[in-house]
Amino acid sequence: MTYCLGIINRFGIVMGADSRTNAGVDYISAYRKLFDFSLAGERAIVICSSGNLSITQGVITQLKRDLHHGEPRNLYNLPSMYDIAHYIGEKSREIQDSDRPWLERNNIDYQCSFLLGGQVQGENAQLYLIYPQGNFIQATKETPFLQIGETKYGKPILDRTIKYDTPLDAMAKCALLSIDSTMKSNISVGPPINLIMYEMDTLVVRHKLELRLGDPYLAKMRKLWEDHVRSAFDAMPNLEWEPEESQSNDDILID
Amino acid sequence: MTYCLGIINRFGIVMGADSRTNAGVDYISAYRKLFDFSLAGERAIVICSSGNLSITQGVITQLKRDLHHGEPRNLYNLPSMYDIAHYIGEKSREIQDSDRPWLERNNIDYQCSFLLGGQVQGENAQLYLIYPQGNFIQATKETPFLQIGETKYGKPILDRTIKYDTPLDAMAKCALLSIDSTMKSNISVGPPINLIMYEMDTLVVRHKLELRLGDPYLAKMRKLWEDHVRSAFDAMPNLEWEPEESQSNDDILID
């Protein structure tokens, strides 16, 4: 399993991914799932991937090849983020098409998803989720984050904190906590964690981070978070239980 | 969907459930999913249910009937919590068996799960999860909580806070927050919320609570929680991004 997320708001974009890949629970390894394809000063392009590793690696390799061979459609000459999302979706469809009969024969899941975040000169920054079917959606002001892979454990913290005017630094910490929560609850999501922070209109990804297993920042963050959770419980008013005399045990009556 | 959870530790048991039932997204209604069958002073028995409503209601009705008809095996004369878990599993299997052919024909999910928590005089308090197949597991000191239904959104907060020596009051607040997080992230989980708190060795459930939509406690809790989350982010040390001069964009190189 994998967990990747992207958040966009008025200040920029934060994207993060874990690195764990597993084939069952008895074969676990680490692969990067966050890739920075930016062309400094012209366009910032960051891609995260989840799903069948042979397919996602295939797509990433194809993107690089098209760049290096100067193909007419590549990450550097497509005119907009929308076109880039469309192009990645097409690549994903192509590779899935060619492998599907062989994988299906053995009930191997060949689906994969991508997050695409960045900014092309002349446009606003944008964030997309490209589905296994190659179609895609864009994050908006109302729903400023997108997730792929093991999305559920890390969603509550995002639902509660991410707003259109959340500062970038807080967004990055929140992304990290969202990934950490997922790692704690699902063993198939694990370090190293890759994180990028993109400041609006800079057209270059200046902030990158890789946190390895046992990184002191991760440990400190986890401890501090758990302390705050406990103090939140202490601060919460006591529950107002129903007065005992008003309780009648209706539950055992036959309706 | 539904979300129910039970937590047990040295101080007692907390159990909670939402009340939302849906058949698709276009038919949503509210049904109790937490039932107190305690016999004050002799045994505390609380049951939560999730899954196909016709089956879970059928099981609960059968449990009541066996009680009222004084059947040789019922919730009040079975000698242990283990036997009660086994008995509920059997009831669930029976009703599933009788309805399965009809439900399967229309691809209707007939599975259901139960949580059983409580204490029979002479035993320690216990907490069980009864699977759709009728088999069951028991919560232990190492894993003091069990969940059924939409379990993922509410798990991180439990993973981070519930210990064998967490005070009962904090456990109850944590359970409520776990349900609230699930409600916020999944619209198919919703109020009223039912919560019980059982103090070890009292053999009676003294603390019950029903929180309806718009309950001021829920709103206050949510606000306070979100404030604490934000202050946790402020308190977290700033991320140490990689120095820009050490960054080289390897990602675009062909391997």
Q: Mind telling me how many Å the CA of B166 is from chain A's nearest CA?
A: 10
Share of chain A above pLDDT 90, in %: 70
Q: Is the pLDDT of residue A255 over 70?
A: no
A234 contacts on B by Cβ (under 8 Å) = 170
Q: Is B143 on the interface with A (CB under 8 A)?
A: no
Q: How is the beta sheet containing A193-199 ordered, strand by strand?
A: A145-149, A3-9, A12-17, A193-199, A207-211
* pLDDT per residue as tens digits for the range B103-115: 999 988 889 999 9
CB contact under 8 A, B252 and A64: yes
CB contact under 8 A, B156 and A160: no
Residue ranges of E strands in A40-158: 43-51, 112-120, 126-130, 136-138, 145-149
**Chains A, B: CB pairs < 8 Å:** 168
CB contact under 8 A, B64 and A195: no
Q: Mind telling me how many Å the CA of A97 is from chain B's nearest CA?
A: 23
Query: To the nearest whole number, what is the mean pLDDT of chain B?
Result: 92
Q: Are B233 and A180 in contact (CB under 8 A)?
A: no
Q: Is the pLDDT of residue A15 over 70?
A: yes
Query: Helices then strands (H, E): number in chain A?
Result: 5, 12
What pLDDT does residue B145 have?
96
Domains identified in chain A and CATH numbers:
3-233 (3.60.20.10)
Res. B33 pLDDT band, cuts 50 70 90: very high
Please state the separation of Cα A187 from the chain's center in Å: 17
Question: Identity (one letter) of the amino acid at A249?
Answer: N
In a mutagenesis test of the B interface, which of A14, A229, A238, A245 is the best target, namely the one with the most B β-carbons within 10 Å? A229
ipTM: 0.84
* pLDDT per residue as tens digits for the range B14-24: 999 999 888 77
CB contact under 8 A, B156 and A239: no
A155, A229, A239: residue with CB nearest B161: A229
A37, A67, A208: residue with CB nearest B241: A208
A159, A161, A184: residue with CB nearest B185: A159
Q: Is the peptide bond before B192 cis (omega within 30 degrees of 0)?
A: yes
Closest by CA to B132, choosing from B114, B115, B146, is: B114
Q: Is A234 on the interface with B (CB under 8 A)?
A: yes
